[in-house]
Amino acid sequence: MAQPAHSPGLPLGRAFGIPIYLHPSWFIIFLLITLSLRTQFSSMHPHWTPAQHWTLGLVTSLLFFASVVFHELSHSLVAKRYRIPVESITLFVFGGLARIQKEPDKASQEFNIAIAGPLSSLFLAGCFWLIARQYHGNELVVAAAQWLAEINFILAVFNLLPGFPLDGGRIFRGIAWAVTKDFTRSTRMASNAGKLIGYLMIFIGIWQALNGNWVGGLWTVFIGWFLLSAAQESFAQVAIRSSLNGVLAGDIMNRDIPTVARDISLEEYVHEVLRTGHQYHIVTGVGVPVGLISLHALRALPPSE
């Protein structure tokens, strides 16, 4: 897979040919999760050493983000199965994002790509639950596996909420698309559901903050605001793409091309710009185009010249 023109973060490596990046915001959430796990393990297992608390917190946090990569890879591999290019996967403050370069061609493709993520998280939750059962005599393994099983289950359930751009919103769009046969309309429906979920999370977060849980409340508000913005932006992109469908460059180009003769002075050209309002002109010599001049290029010259 080709390297993106603008790197979305620090390169971490590749999986199945897909570049994986770490967004700078990822380090914030990684630190917060590690500290939270260290505090949780200290409270639940006070007889462990501080080194064990910190080490297990670090390892468990890394395994959680490996689970997020697995989740996004599931989306990406199904997309590649349908010959839809995947540009990259980026880990950031809210988890992971697979950059799929174009929309699916069919509702069934949209549904399958979307549902692959939650199914992969449920699969991991089951695997970690089995590990916790299998190694019940090892407290360190059990503590990490139980937390990973719970968080992957929560990740799957949260992503199944039927609001765009969550996986559940894409599943909803796939179903609505199959029923209505209208991609733009189904996107609007899923985006509206996403905005509703965003507003609801903001309300819940404010309620949490007013009842004393400032950290959890602000985090919930932040997530709700992110979902709200993403839902609005996602539909705007689809609406623009839909409105431009079938429009050619020739349909919107300006056929009245302004020209100036090559023998006019720059001072005369300034007056021409002020008179017509055009900021660029084709330069002609004996009626034949020989170059291009613009107001931007003129500004690069000192006024004295």
User: How far apart (Å, rounded) are the C-alpha atoms in residues 298 and 304?
Assistant: 12
User: How far apart (Å, rounded) are the C-alpha atoms in residues 4 and 198?
Assistant: 30
Burial (CB count <10 Å: 0-12, 13-18, 19+), residue 278: middle
**Do the Cβ atoms of 33 and 61 come closer than 8 Å?**
yes
C-beta neighbour count of 79 within 10 angstroms: 22
Strands 86-92, 18-22: pairing is parallel
Closest by CA to 181, choosing from 285, 87, 106, is 106
Q: Collect all residues with Cβ–Cβ distance below 8 Å to 195 and sequence separation of at least 6.
A: 163, 228, 231, 232
Is 305 among the residues known to form the active site?
A: no
Within 45-182, where are the H helices? 50-81, 107-134, 139-159, 167-180
Residues identified as active-site: 72
